[in-house]
Amino acid sequence: MKKLLALLFIGLFAVTFDVSAQTSTTTTAALDTVAAKSYVGKYKMKDSPFEEIIVSLKDGKLAGEAVGQGSAELAPTKETDIFEVVGYDGKVEFVRDESKLVKKIKLTMQGSTMEGDKQP
């Protein structure tokens, strides 16, 4: 009887642990639309197949458009200032200066990293 209770307890714990592990793992975070406004703007790209990236905020979502290449949603991650480029397996990092203002963008896709300066 003790063995049966011990097995029942272990089985219940394992099921509970498995369910909580599945529900607590997320790759994205909620977008803070107030903070997201600091990302909005045009970024002049260096050593890139396109001249600029335009970042916009519409309907509570951040989007990036590589001029001449198309656009994609930028989904927030758990890391501040880092976003997933939805549908393109890439990431965007917004780089801040010592005054905490966004000054640059880093786009990483297919093993390459491209940088651009935020235009005034």
* CA angle at 31 for the pair 119 and 68, rounded to the nearest 5°: 45
pLDDT, greater one: 3 or 105: 105
Q: What is the pLDDT of residue 2?
A: 38
Q: Does the pLDDT at position 10 exceed 60?
A: no
Q: What is the pLDDT of residue 35?
A: 83
pLDDT in tens, 31-70: 877 888 999 999 999 988 889 999 999 999 999 999 888 8
Going along the chain from its start, the domains and CATH numbers come out as 33-118 (2.40.128)
Provide the mean pLDDT of the chain. Answer: 80
Q: What is the pLDDT of residue 27?
A: 52
